[in-house]
Each structure stands twice: as structure tokens, then as C-alpha cells.
Structure 1
Amino acid sequence: MRITKILQLPFLLSCSFKSTAITRINSGRLCFLPSVIQGIFFYSSLPQQKQEPPNSNSPVGSPARIQKLIASQTDPLLAKEIFDYASSQPNFRHSYSSCLTLILKLGRSKHFSLIDQLLVQLKSNGYPLTPILFSHVIKLYGEADLPGKALKIFYTMMEFNCQPSVKHLNRILEILVSRRSYIRPAFDLFRNAHRYGVEPNTKSYNVLMRAFCSCGDLSVAYQLFNEMFKRDVIPDVESYRILMQGLCRKSQVSRAVDLLEDMLNKGFVPDSLSYTTLLNSLCRKKKLREAYKLLCRMKVKGCNPDIVHYNTVLVGFCREGRAMDAFKVLEDMAANGCLPNLVSYRTLVNGLCDEGMFDEAKNYMEEMISKGFSLHFSVIHALVKGFCNVGKVDEACGILGKVLKHGEAPHVDTWMMITPRICDTERMEEVLDEILKIEIKPHTRIVEAGVGLEDYLIRKRGAKRRRS
């Protein structure tokens, strides 16, 4: 095919080439017609495209021009053909940008075998490969979930006379430990890294400690933690937190608290997540006194408690039937400038109802409404059920009236519980009037309450007929 005819094709005028420019041979390999590749270079040199002037030493032009051509291709295989074609031309040598651009294109389209071939090709042609290029290759293998390939790259770097850094080591370790079956190879790489001129740092230790804690091997995690001090590697807040989280997962919360004390004695300031881990574990172990003391110490030790910390302890108290102690937590929140949220109020109202303190729970429900919080189904249900169980149907109806006036509707379960109790009272008509003013959703419809409502409506209609 003549170049002039190729240039007349619409797909060449846009410099975007599709599978129509590809010939498939019997082996299944895709190869590009030399005339098409020549046409690309010829077209890219036309003056109206404002391309860089061709390099006089090479028939395909400058390395920058080739890099732009490679970058402009949507088909990575065509980009590879352009790269190879330019490589075969006399007096031409690719730039670093061209090599990196092609590797990224091939990696994102998962042509990893071509990347391996390209690296060998670059080595044989004497191209200097930089640590940054290998960083990109490692990242590509990680994103493709190929830990074995990432590990191989570490050793490949030294074959290219490229010294790996601790950043390469840490990235490969992160990729390896993401697969449980590769934790041991990661540990072996970590242990032998110094042989290749790489000294693990704090992050290296943290990656492996987290991996061993996640798989329940605390002994190795502790070994790594203690080894940091022997090798003059300074642990950070994350190092302590990783080990504390591992201990808490093993229900060894007392040892985790001891580790916190050691952390404070060494001058570290625990972060918010470290405290959250300990508070949650203490509450689940029903060590509420220790949890509350830790909550009070946080501010003194340089970490202001947030809503998550307060709610964790508040939930712990209410779960154990100590709603009165939860009052104190709520007061502390306000005193420290941390405003209660929906979870805070909902937990406290439910806790008070569980202990039969319905009037106090009602007061907090009204406080929720005054602060603009949307009442959760559980709050309404707990109050209505509580008042009904102690025979205070009028108070239960009052709760319904208030929530309906604020555009809320009880759950079907609440309707089913209260409807039989109020059908014979004058409050039922009042409740129905309020229901008609708001949107009733499938999970809040009173009609799902069943026979009790049906009987009431039948009697109501019969009474009207008799009066007429």
C-alpha cells in the first residue's frame, strides 16, 4: 500500500489507529504493516500539525517526537510497534520518557510479558534504567495483584545495575503481605534486604508487624517490635498502634493498656485511632471503669476525645445497664466542647428505656427534636413500648402525636403493638388525623398493623351509619 493512499484514510488523519491497521497471522501474534508505521511518521512530520522538526541525524525525527507519538496512541500494541520501529532506525536512541510512557501503556493494559521483553531489550541496548522507572513497574504489578512479579523486580533491578532503595523494599513488602500466602516470602526478603544494600526502616517493620498481627502471629510481631530498638530503628505511633490492635483482637486488652503506658513513658503521643481501639476493647471486656478513666486522661495526654471516643464509652455503659453513668459521659461531652450526635441520644434513650426510666428518656427525645435530630425508629419504639408496658397508654399516644407532628412515622412493629391498645380510646381518631398529614412509607404504614385497625375502622363506619 502506498503511503499517499494510507494518508487518505480517515483514521490516519486523526492519528488514531484501530484494529483495521492490524494483520493477524496464523500464530495469533499481532503485527503492524510497515507501511502503516511509515505513514504515521510521515503524517506526524507534516507542517500543519506543528510537530517538532525532524532530527537531521535520524529519519524518524527526535526522541521527543517519538515520545509524543507513543503517548498519543490508544492501542498499546501499536505504541509498541512504533517504539520498535524507531529503535531500528539508524542514529536514533529513545528518551527516558518514551520508555516510561510505553511501559505504563503496556502495564495498564496488562501486557506484562511485553514489559519483561522490553526491559531485556533496553538492557541489551545499553539504556540506563532509573529507580523511578522500576517504581512504576512495581506499582503496575501491585495494581494487577501480581506479588510474585513484584518480588522478581527487586532482584531484576540489581541485574540492571540499579540499586534498590528502601522505598522499593517497602512497596514490594506491602504488595506481598496483601496475600497471606506471600507473608513468608515477604519476611525472607525483609531479613535479607541488607545483603543488597537496603536497610529496612520503621515503615518496613510496620508493614510486617501489621501482616503478622492480622494473621494472629503476635509472637513474631512482638519480636519485630523489640528488634527495632536493638537496630536503632525508632518506632512511631503507628508501630505501637499496630501491636495494640493485634493484642486487642486477641482479647489481651490489659497488655495493650500496658503498651500504651510504655508509649506514654517514652514520650509518644497516641493518636485518636489508638485510643479508639483501647476504649472499644475495654468496653467489650466490661472494664467500664478503666475505659472511663482512659477517656478522662486523653485530654491531659495531648489527644482531645472526639465524638467516637465518647460514644464508645456511652454505648458500653448502656449495654451493661448503667444508663445513669452514661449521663456523666454526656455531661463531659458538653464540658469539653464535643456536641452529642444522633448516636449519642439514641443510645442513651434506649438505655434509659431498658432500665424503665421512661420519663427521663422522653425528656432526651424532646431534646433531640429541639436540636433538629431525626428520630430513629428504635427511639420511638422503645418509648412507646415502655409506656404501654407500664399501662401509660396516654403517654404512649403523646409520643406518637409529637413524632407525627414533626413528620416522623413509627415503624410497622410499633403500630402493631400500640394499635390494639388505643383503638377503643378517643386518641385513635387524633392519631389518624396526624397520619394523614405526613407521607407514610411502606415500612411505616399503619394499615400493616392488622386486625386491630381493621376492626376499629369497621366499628367507626358502622357508628356513622347508625347516626345517619
Structure 2
Amino acid sequence: MSSSVCRRLHGLFTTTKTTSLPKTPKPTATAAATTLKLSPAKSSGPPNNKNLIALVGQFKKASRSSRFRHHSHKAYFKIVHRLAVANKHSYIEEIIEHQKQYPDITNERFAVRLISLYGKSGMFDHAHKLFDEMPQLNCERTVMSFNALLSACVNSKKFDKISELLSELPEKLSIKPDTVSYNTVVKAFCEMGSLDSAVSVVIEMEKSGVEPDLITFNTLLDALYRNDRFEEAEKLWGLMQDKNVFPSSRSYNPKIRALVAGKRISEAVEVFQEMGSKGVKPDVYTFSALIKGFCDDENLEDAKRQYKEMEKNDCYPDPAILRILGKRACEEGEFEFGLELCKEAISRRRFIGLPMMQRVLDGLVKESKMEEAKELMELGKSNSFVQYKLEWHTDE
């Protein structure tokens, strides 16, 4: 690269009075030396225990308000989630036990919320204890609270207890399991890897006079395709048709992902076309799977077409797929498309990572596309979402 070009580059990336960047050294005539250095902001560190204690106190005080208890479901979830992340299970118990003094505890829906919070915190024994206490709290137990207990079991990863709950509690408590009950059990078996048991639940449902629904089939299809059990999955499609259960994009996506993973992209495209012929609208995961497949197949043009189709369908890929697409674009020298991806990602607050931005910037500089390179650099410096310090420097 000529010295005049280097001087132009230096002018593009020189600091301004409003930007706290180090003094720019004199550039050399080496394009490879051009770098975009971004340093992540400092982490705020783990939460202070004193602050958490204060938070628990504030929450208990807020709980005195019936309006807060009735309408602040998200607040309950957020504080319990924060305490669970901090591994403060005793604080979670303190908050939930505190709720029992209010008249709301006689309402099953309120009790179900508390059982669910225990489950999402991995505290199944506490959830079970609260379920057992419901009669003493003058709270009726129906299939709704039973299903909450099943979900708490799954969320707490206590899969070994799920069969026991389903086989013993309904008869003992005169509760008839419904579709939600069986779907929770299906999910548990799938997460355990006991796919044969999961499929057998469908037979058990029919014996009990409970019809499987779309959630039942989607859960099973996802598990079967993830484990390359195509033959069994295809049989489920037939059963869905027999029961007049109309598939959704979530039914097709596992099959498309499995075909892509098996490098059978042409078959994945056929499944995508089948969705269209049956009036099933693809979602972001459908498009993302196909984009990955085309990129793996080194077919950037079709990957770009799917990217454009996503926008027409009100979808947008996650950062991982953007990085895959950006990598493919850079490998094929399409740095302007890479710039388009970076700009779109920043505008949508999707952080695609420094390596991709660096690769796009280096490619633009190498092709002497100075204005485009400057645009990317300025975007990184000025956009508060990125929250990184950018530095221009050259290696002597």
C-alpha cells in the first residue's frame, strides 16, 4: 500500500476532541497493520450480599400491598431469578414462605405461582412441600396445581421422580391428569434421553382418554430428530395426520436442523418447500437453519437469499447465525455485505463479536474502500450499545 493511502487511512481514523483515544502514531505502509482494537467494559462483579438482604426486605414490604401481589408477577420472577443466580436459596425460601400469611394463599393460582418459582429455582422439595401444605392453607388442589408440581419437578431436573408423581398422586388425590400433565411427562422423558418412554406416554394418554396435542408431537419430534431417529419421527407425522393435528413451524424445524446437520441441504430445502405448500409460515429458526446449511455448503448466494426472505417474514437472525453468515461472506470476499450485516446487527442491538467486525474492517481496507471502512469504525465508536473503546494504531 502506498504511503499516500496510509496517510488517507490515518486521517479516517484519527481521534477527535470528543473521543478519548490515545495519540495516534505515524502509520507505516502496511495494510495488515491496520487494526480495530476493542476492549470490553469492566464487569460489575457478583451481587453484594448486603444489597440482596436489602432487596429481600424491600420485596417483603412491597408484598403487603394486595395490588402488588395480584399484578406484579414479573417482579416475583425477577427477584427469585436474581437470588437463584446468586445461589441464595435461603432467601428465596424466606420470600416465598412470607407469602403464606396473606389471604391470596387460599387462591390456587397464587399457590401455583409460588410452586413454579420454587421449581424454576431448582428447589423441588420446597415446591412439593408447599403442594402438600395446600389443604392446611385452605387452598384447593386441582390438576392445575398438580401440573405446576410436575413442571417444578422437570425444571429442577428431578426426572427420576416424574413417573412416581404421575402414577401415585392422581389416584391418591382424585385428580385426573390432562394433556398438560402428560406433555410435562413427555418433556421430562425427552430431557432424560428416555425416548422410548416418551413415545409410550402417547399410548398411555389414549388409554386414559386424553388426546395428544401439537405440543406433544412437537416435543417428541424435536427429541427424535435430535437423536437421528428419523424413522420413528416420520411415523409421528402420520399419527398427527390421523388425529387432525395441524403442524407448525416448530414441527418442521427439528427435521430441517437434523437434515442440515447431516449435510442433506437439498432435502432440507424440500421440507421448507413442503411447509410453504401446506401454508405453514416459517419462523426465525427455520431460516436460521437453512442459512447455516447453505453457509456450511459454501453457498453464499442462497444463504443471502434466505437472509433477505427473513426480513420479508418479519424475522431476524440471532448473533450466532449472523457470525456464520458474516464469516462466509468474508471468506468469499464480499466485505460490503459483511458491512451490511454489521450495520444491521448494531441497529438491532445484536452484538456479533469483535472478530467479525475486525475481519470486515480489514477486508474493506485491503480493497481500499475507505469510506465504508470509516463508516464501520465510526459506528463502533459512536454506538452506545457496543460499549467498547476503539483505538487506531499501527505496528512499527
Q: TM-score range by the shorter chain?
A: 0.5 to 0.7
Which piece of structure 1 moves more, 161-170 or 199-208? 161-170
Partner residue, 1:225: 202
User: Is contact 1:269-1:303 (8 Å) kept?
Assistant: no
List gaps (5 residues or longer) in structure 2: 1-62, 67-92
User: Is contact 2:106-2:139 (8 Å) kept?
Assistant: no
Aligned partners of 2:379 and 2:296: how far apart in 1? 24
Partner residue, 2:287: 310
> For residue 408 of structure 1, what is the amino acid of its counterpart?
M
Structure 1 counterpart SS, 2:368: helix
| Offset, 1:253 | 5.0
Partner residue, 2:171: 194
Structure 1 counterpart SS, 2:97: coil
- 1:450 and 2:395 correspond: yes
Which piece of structure 1 moves more, 315-324 or 151-160? 151-160
**Structure 2 counterpart of 1:329, from 306, 327, 351:** 306
- 1:243 and 2:220 correspond: yes
Partner residue, 1:292: 269
TM-score (norm 1): 0.51
CA 1:409–1:202 in structure 2 vs 1: closer, same or farther (change >3 Å)?
A: same
Query: CA RMSD of the aligned region, Å?
Result: 4.7
Partner residue, 1:423: none
Post-superposition CA distance 1:174-210 (Å, at most 9, x none) = 22333334x3433223113134321111000011111
Structure 2 counterpart SS, 1:180: coil
Aligned partners of 2:383 and 2:208: how far apart in 1? 69
Whichever of the two has the greater Rg, that structure is: 1
Structure 1 counterpart SS, 2:250: helix
Aligned partners of 2:375 and 2:200: how far apart in 1? 59
Correspondence 1:313-392 to 2 at 5 A? 313-330=290-307, 333=310, 337=313, 347-354=324-331, 357-358=332-333, 361-362=334-335, 364-365=337-338, 378=355, 381-382=358-359
- 1:110 and 2:97 correspond: yes
User: Is contact 1:177-1:211 (8 Å) kept?
Assistant: yes
User: Is contact 1:409-1:444 (8 Å) kept?
Assistant: no
> Which protein, 1 or 2, shows the higher relative CO under an 8 Å CA cutoff with sep ≥ 6?
2
User: Is contact 2:189-2:197 (8 Å) kept?
Assistant: yes
Aligned partners of 1:265 and 1:147: how far apart in 2? 38
| Offset, 1:377 | 5.2
- How many residue pairs align between the two structures? 297
> For residue 185 of structure 1, what is the amino acid of its counterpart?
K
Partner residue, 1:23: none
Aligned partners of 1:175 and 1:441: how far apart in 2? 38
> For residue 280 of structure 2, what is the amino acid of its counterpart?
C
| Offset, 1:239 | 0.8
Partner residue, 1:396: 366
Aligned partners of 1:230 and 1:320: how far apart in 2? 46
CA 1:130–1:403 in structure 2 vs 1: closer, same or farther (change >3 Å)?
A: closer
Aligned partners of 1:441 and 1:194: how far apart in 2? 57
Aligned partners of 2:130 and 2:176: how far apart in 1? 18
Correspondence 1:5-20 to 2 at 5 A? none
Post-superposition CA distance 1:389-419 (Å, at most 9, x none) = xxxxxx72423x12344252699xxxxxxxx
CA 1:444–1:258 in structure 2 vs 1: closer, same or farther (change >3 Å)?
A: farther
TM-score (norm 2): 0.58
> For residue 187 of structure 1, what is the amino acid of its counterpart?
S
**Structure 1 counterpart of 2:211, from 230, 234, 238:** 234
Aligned partners of 2:390 and 2:107: how far apart in 1? 60
CA 1:261–1:324 in structure 2 vs 1: closer, same or farther (change >3 Å)?
A: farther
Aligned partners of 2:105 and 2:210: how far apart in 1? 24
| Offset, 1:276 | 3.4
Aligned partners of 2:269 and 2:361: how far apart in 1? 31
User: Is contact 2:259-2:265 (8 Å) kept?
Assistant: yes
Which piece of structure 1 moves more, 272-281 or 293-302? 272-281
> For residue 143 of structure 1, what is the amino acid of its counterpart?
L
Aligned partners of 1:155 and 1:372: how far apart in 2? 49
List gaps (5 residues or longer) in structure 1: 1-69, 74-105, 119-128, 388-394, 412-434, 452-468
> For residue 395 of structure 2, what is the amino acid of its counterpart?
G
User: Is contact 2:326-2:356 (8 Å) kept?
Assistant: yes
User: Is contact 2:104-2:110 (8 Å) kept?
Assistant: no
Partner residue, 1:30: none
Correspondence 1:121-140 to 2 at 5 A? 132-133=106-107, 136-137=110-111, 139-140=113-114
- Identical positions, percent: 22
- 1:171 and 2:111 correspond: no
- 1:209 and 2:174 correspond: no
CA 1:220–1:367 in structure 2 vs 1: closer, same or farther (change >3 Å)?
A: closer
